[in-house]
Structure 1
Amino acid sequence: MNEILKYGSIDKIPFYNCSAHTSQEWSALYGVSHPILGWLDVIFGVTVFYIPIILVMFQSEFYKMSCFKIMICLAIVDMSALVINSIITGILAIQGAVWCTYPKFNYIVGMIVLGLWCSSCIIVLILVSNRLLELSEHKLARMFIGNRPFLIMLAPFLYGLYFAVFTNPVGFNSKYYTWLFNPMISEIKTDKYINISHAVNNVAIVAITCILYVWLYLEVREKLEAIGWKDRKNDLGFQILVQSAMICSINFVASIIFVVMNIVELPIWIMFVAQKMWQLIHGAPVFIYLTLNRTIRKGFIKLFQEIKKVYHIPHPTTVSPQS
């Protein structure tokens, strides 16, 4: 965004100038159409349906817990990111689009999705920190009392806003089937597209996650020594702890891949894996909640049963001629 303000428009930014070819020519020269993979991405983005999960989390029995407030914010960010990294990605892949096919669109959407990614990283860390502080009964856990979690969520919002406004955006490239900082406009290598802030973000996420997991292990080990298997299995706090750990694990793997991908040139298949991991980061929580959190799963089923009752239309009674 700061480059747009500096030069007046996206077209006037020197290292994002696509005037060498028309949009159709850019796609024909450098793009690769992926109709099957594209449709699979669109289907994935559409079927990962967060709204019922969010509605369940807003129920009073869940909403009073601080971790659910954080999970609601994470769900909103994930749902927004899926629109871009799955649905829009699929559409662009079907067309065989590259950055210069839709330069303005890529620039704006790339800003947004980069901000969403960095925001989700911080929210996930806050979620795990919340579980750790409450499990350890640390005095800092008081910061999550009441509606304070929503105030804390201003931090990831501003953090993501920084990346969207002040750092280089990503753009989709169908040849590599992922979103890259380098728009591949010229074969001349340059460091103008390097996003150091993004690399620092990913490395920091990995480092902090490792530290938190050590603390997590120590706290869980202490707690599990004091309770039996049956109680542990039915404990809602433990269920949420497992879910938080799984979500963070996916972020951990994807962060490493994207850091390496931006340092050295990797095979296309690894970039493809990185793209799928990125989609999984934002889509996996739905399946984690529904498979591991029995409370949310029951609330989810109950919600659909209530909707079915509201819109249920009884079958008309058959009347015989004699009647």
Structure 2
Amino acid sequence: MELFLFKHQEYERLYNCTNLVIDSIPIEDRRLTIEALINLILGIIYFLVYLPCLYSIWKQHWKNDCYTILLYIGIVDLVGIIISGFLHPILSLQGAVFCSYPTLIYIVGTFVLAFNRCIQIISPSIAKFLFKGMRTYIWLLFCTLYALYCMFFINPVLFSGIYFAWFFYPFVGYREDYGEFVFDQLPSYHDVSVAILSPLIYLIFAIALVIKSKKSIITPNQAPTQYFSISRLEKMVFLQVFSLSLLNTTECLFYIIMQYTTQQKWMTILAEFLWFHIHGFPPIIYLTLNKTIREDCIILFKKLKNINKDPPSNVVNVMVTPFNANS
């Protein structure tokens, strides 16, 4: 964004579409109709399902720091769904590439990069160890500042309908020579760090959970017998965070490969859907594994259903008596 706002001549030099003929690649090769429609339908479903979950999280975040993190993630996810679940498939249905809508795709790409980095750097499970009270807001501020830095000072990712994905290089599929285009290294370092540290953190989390649940049974005249007892709640918490971690780790690995190797369409499609599900799948996990959120959503739907069924209570019956002029 810094290049676009304050160094526009340099932006025009690096992202110039003047000599590029979009239709040199037929629209049939730039449009993936089935994938885009699936993406769009799932985007609508995820967005509608996420809203009541976010309402429940908002109710709970006053009581629990972990829910404050989930609220922050939820807001980021909704923006991510709007981009990856609505704008992305619409651009794909049009067979768009960067040069189709350069300004729009460039600006949206800065938000994509910022929100993607923001959602990957924070995790509700880590909140159990590092987030408490005001520390929660300090970490959220750090994540926000990091996202803003990526938005303004890192080259954005740009949509390409050819591969149904977003790339740092604006002319993917048209020009193989990168010329003077310089790739920022921070996104690569970020993806590698997430791909390595994320599973490592969850491994530590799992080990800590097992150690914490270690118990002993002492019976007369026998040595103490040790066993592990993990509650259903602890299992559900671990399963939630592990599912999200797996999506993040896999997506990062694919994007590392995509940016620096010859693009394979199956890989770019899979990577895009992984990124999309990082934002869209959490409400499914919440409704399946989180009893509090599930019950709040059921109560909310019942209230909405009753509002539609109940007649208005302020109706007044008025009896009109005909006027008789002879009386």
> Which bracket does the TM-score occupy, shorter chain normalised?
0.7 to 0.9
- Cα displacement (A) at 1:255: 0.9
Question: 1:177 is matched with which residue: 144, 164, 181?
Answer: 164
Question: 1:165 is matched with which residue: 137, 143, 152?
Answer: 152
Q: Given that residues 244 and 278 in structure 2 are in contact (C-alpha distance below 8 angstroms), is that contact kept between their aligned partners in structure 1?
A: yes
Identify which range, 185-194 or 33-42, moves more after superposition: 185-194
- Say which SS state the counterpart of residue 260 (structure 2) adopts: coil
Question: 1:302 is matched with which residue: 286, 299, 302?
Answer: 299
User: Is 1:198 the equivalent of 2:187?
Assistant: yes
- Cα displacement (A) at 1:240: 2.6
Q: 1:19 to 1:76 in 2, by over 3 A?
A: same
Q: Match of 1:47, as an amino acid?
A: I
Structural RMSD (CA):
2.5
Instruction: Give the distance between the partners of 1:229 and 1:311, measured in 2 at CA.
Output: 50
Instruction: Give the distance between the partners of 1:242 and 1:69, measured in 2 at CA.
Output: 20
- Say which SS state the counterpart of residue 248 (structure 2) adopts: helix
Q: 1:26 to 1:74 in 2, by over 3 A?
A: farther
Question: 2:282 is matched with which residue: 275, 281, 285?
Answer: 285
Instruction: Give the distance between the partners of 1:292 and 1:264, measured in 2 at CA.
Output: 38
- Cα displacement (A) at 1:191: 6.3
Instruction: Give the distance between the partners of 2:111 and 2:9, measured in 1 at CA.
Output: 17
Residues 22-41 of structure 1: pairs in structure 2 closer than 5 A: 25=23, 28=26, 32-41=30-39
Question: 1:150 is matched with which residue: 137, 145, 152?
Answer: 137
Residues 221-269 of structure 1 show CA distances to partners (whole Å, capped at 9, x for unaligned) of: 1133349999711x3x543332122111210111111112122224211
Q: 1:164 to 1:270 in 2, by over 3 A?
A: same
Q: 1:28 to 1:6 in 2, by over 3 A?
A: farther
Q: Match of 1:176, as an amino acid?
A: Y
Identify which range, 91-100 or 257-266, moves more after superposition: 257-266
- Cα displacement (A) at 1:195: 2.9
Residues 180-238 of structure 1 show CA distances to partners (whole Å, capped at 9, x for unaligned) of: 111115332346252311111111112221331231122111133349999711x3x54
- Cα displacement (A) at 1:19: 1.5
Residues 85-96 of structure 1: pairs in structure 2 closer than 5 A: 85-96=84-95
- Cα displacement (A) at 1:277: 0.7
Q: Match of 1:179, as an amino acid?
A: W
- Say which SS state the counterpart of residue 256 (structure 1) adopts: helix
1:261 match = 258
Instruction: Give the distance between the partners of 1:195 and 1:35, measured in 2 at CA.
Output: 32
Residues 30-85 of structure 1 show CA distances to partners (whole Å, capped at 9, x for unaligned) of: 9612222222211111111322111111224x541111110111111111011111
Instruction: Give the distance between the partners of 1:297 and 1:29, measured in 2 at CA.
Output: 44
Matched-pair identity in %? 26
- Say which SS state the counterpart of residue 183 (structure 1) adopts: coil
Question: 2:204 is matched with which residue: 212, 215, 238?
Answer: 215
TM-score using structure 2 length: 0.83
Q: Match of 1:178, as an amino acid?
A: A
Which is higher, the Rg of structure 1 or of structure 2?
2
Instruction: Give the distance between the partners of 1:193 and 1:91, measured in 2 at CA.
Output: 29
Instruction: Give the distance between the partners of 1:252 and 1:221, measured in 2 at CA.
Output: 23
- Say which SS state the counterpart of residue 126 (structure 2) adopts: helix
Instruction: Give the distance between the partners of 1:306 and 1:229, measured in 2 at CA.
Output: 42
User: Is 1:271 the equivalent of 2:268?
Assistant: yes
- Say which SS state the counterpart of residue 5 (structure 2) adopts: helix
TM-score using structure 1 length: 0.84
Instruction: Please list every run of 5 or more consecutive structure 2 residues that lacks an aligned counterpart in the other structure.
Output: 217-226, 313-327
- Say which SS state the counterpart of residue 220 (structure 1) adopts: helix
Residues 229-244 of structure 1: pairs in structure 2 closer than 5 A: 232-233=231-232, 235=233, 237-244=234-241
2:317 match = none
Q: 1:5 to 1:230 in 2, by over 3 A?
A: same
- Cα displacement (A) at 1:306: 1.4
- Say which SS state the counterpart of residue 78 (structure 2) adopts: helix
Give the number of the structure whose residues are more often helix, by fraction. 1
Instruction: Please list every run of 5 or more consecutive structure 1 residues that lacks an aligned counterpart in the other structure.
Output: 134-140, 316-323
> How many residues align structurally?
298
- Cα displacement (A) at 1:29: 6.9
Q: 1:302 to 1:226 in 2, by over 3 A?
A: farther
- Cα displacement (A) at 1:148: 4.2
Q: Match of 2:30, as an amino acid?
A: V
- Cα displacement (A) at 1:303: 1.0
